[in-house]
């Protein structure tokens, strides 16, 4: 059976609370991989407005989401526009509101932390918060309401506030093989033919499917 169209707006029959992000995101500063989805009973089409916060064009930072990412309701991606200047006596963003004699915006003064990058096959739990400039590695799991301010290693499980790695999903040698195999980059026909192996924990079978 072939894979579904990644541009399908509502890929689950009879349920309009889930959408493939490629079908609903048109912001050029947000990159989304195939089959990544957002689930929200209030309507997933509001993903950008509800989940991607302080994302201003004049700052230019990007949110990059890989393939096969699962994002639960009310997860938050805090972008660099949330940062305030901290090098002076006041943190108030005078320039943003048009105050005369205010210093202009600069990435350095505002604590710019770079793009936010979510790897492939990542699961982000309900109301989790990803802070600016964080990279979440492939295969990671971010627990419900976790507050993630640091990079997350591939295949790590992160929970809590502040977010901390509580375990690795697989042994280091298995993680290394998974990162080399990169099943999410296979041709759609190859993925479709090997869904059972991808959903298993048999690394030998997965390696043989390449």
DSSP state of 83: -
Rounded CA gap, 153 and 40, in Å? 27
- 74: Cβ contacts below 8 Å, ≥ 6 apart: 40, 50, 51, 126, 127
For residues 59 and 107, the answer to whether their CB atoms sit within 8 Å is yes
Rounded CA gap, 82 and 110, in Å? 9
**Residues 206-209: contacts with CB within 8 Å, 24+ apart?**
206/177, 206/178, 206/181, 207/177, 207/181, 209/183
Is 46 designated active site?
A: no
One of 10, 46, 55, 84 is an active-site residue; which one?
Answer: 84
For residues 69 and 36, the answer to whether their CB atoms sit within 8 Å is yes
Cβ neighbours of 208 (radius 10 Å) = 10
What φ, ψ does residue 135 adopt, rounded to 5°?
Answer: -110, 125
β-bridge pairing 37-39 and 63-65: unpaired
Catalytic site residues?
A: 84
């Amino acid at each position: 059976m072939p894979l579904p169209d990644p541009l399908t707006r509502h890929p689950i029959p009879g349920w309009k609370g889930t959408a493939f992000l490629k079908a609903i995101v048109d912001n050029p500063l947000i990159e989304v991989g195939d089959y990544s989805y957002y689930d929200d009973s209030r309507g997933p089409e509001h993903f950008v407005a509800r989940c991607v916060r302080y994302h201003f064009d004049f700052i230019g930072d990007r949110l990059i989401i890989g393939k096969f990412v699962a994002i639960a309701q009310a997860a938050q991606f805090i972008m660099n526009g949330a940062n305030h200047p901290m090098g002076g006596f006041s943190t108030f963003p005078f320039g943003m509101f048009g105050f005369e004699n205010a210093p202009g915006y600069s990435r350095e003064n505002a604590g710019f932390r770079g793009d936010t990058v979510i790897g492939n096959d990542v699961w982000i739990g309900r109301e989790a918060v990803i802070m600016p400039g964080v990279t979440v590695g492939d295969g990671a799991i971010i627990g419900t309401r976790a507050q993630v301010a640091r990079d997350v290693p591939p295949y790590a499980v992160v929970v809590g506030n502040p977010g901390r790695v509580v375990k690795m999903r697989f042994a280091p040698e298995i993680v290394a093989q998974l990162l080399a195999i990169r099943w999410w980059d296979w041709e759609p026909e190859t993925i479709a033919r090997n869904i059972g192996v991808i959903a298993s924990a048999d690394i030998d079978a997965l390696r043989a499917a390449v």
